[in-house]
Structure 1
Amino acid sequence: MRKIQVGVTGMTCAACSNSVEAALMNVNGVFKASVALLQNRADVVFDPNLVKEEDIKEEIEDAGFEAEILAEEW
């Protein structure tokens, strides 16, 4: 398991953060996604054997938001 932080811009309301979280949870290999609207950040726990960081970034962008990998926590 790995945990990363992703900066997400373009979210303006709770519905935005919910749609980002739902999009991330639909990715095969993502086990947990927590989106913080006010911090413009998503914390994602995933299996690197099933999904890549770039796939996570692209999923957020496909949902209509900008994304940038900020940090790997562990």
Structure 2
Amino acid sequence: MSTTTQTEITVAGMTCGHCTAAVSSELSALPGVVAVAVDLHPGEDSPVTITSEAPLDPAVVADAVAEAGYSLR
């Protein structure tokens, strides 16, 4: 039986579908990530849920979001 871990983050600066796709793509590329769900709030902070096979290093998550051009709150 496999278990997954959910990591909740808040991303600032996303305004459209392209933004969510960029963040989702970077986070999905992290080892062990099986799903990324973005609840876009254009012009506001947007919650993001990352489902992974093991807990994620917060610094690695922040780097992936920064690589997409956004920042964590």
TM-score bin, normalised by smaller chain: 0.7 to 0.9
Q: Which residue, 30, 52, 55 being the options, matches 2:57?
A: 52
After TM superposition, give the deviation of residue 47 of structure 1 in Å: 2.6
- Runs of 4+ in structure 1 displaced over 3 angstroms? none
Unaligned runs of 5+ in 1: 69-74
CA distance in structure 2 between the aligned counterparts of 1:54 and 1:35, rounded to whole angstroms: 19
Unaligned runs of 5+ in 2: none
- Provide the residue aligned with 1:31 in structure 2: 34
CA radius of gyration, larger in: 2
After TM superposition, give the deviation of residue 8 of structure 1 in Å: 0.2
Question: Normalising to structure 2: TM-score of the pair?
Answer: 0.78
CA distance in structure 2 between the aligned counterparts of 1:8 and 1:19, rounded to whole angstroms: 12
Number of equivalences: 67
- Give the match's secondary structure for 2:36: strand
Q: Alignment RMSD, CA only?
A: 1.7
Question: Normalising to structure 1: TM-score of the pair?
Answer: 0.77
After TM superposition, give the deviation of residue 44 of structure 1 in Å: 0.3
Instruction: Give the share of equivalent positions with the same residue, in percent.
Output: 21
Higher strand share: 1
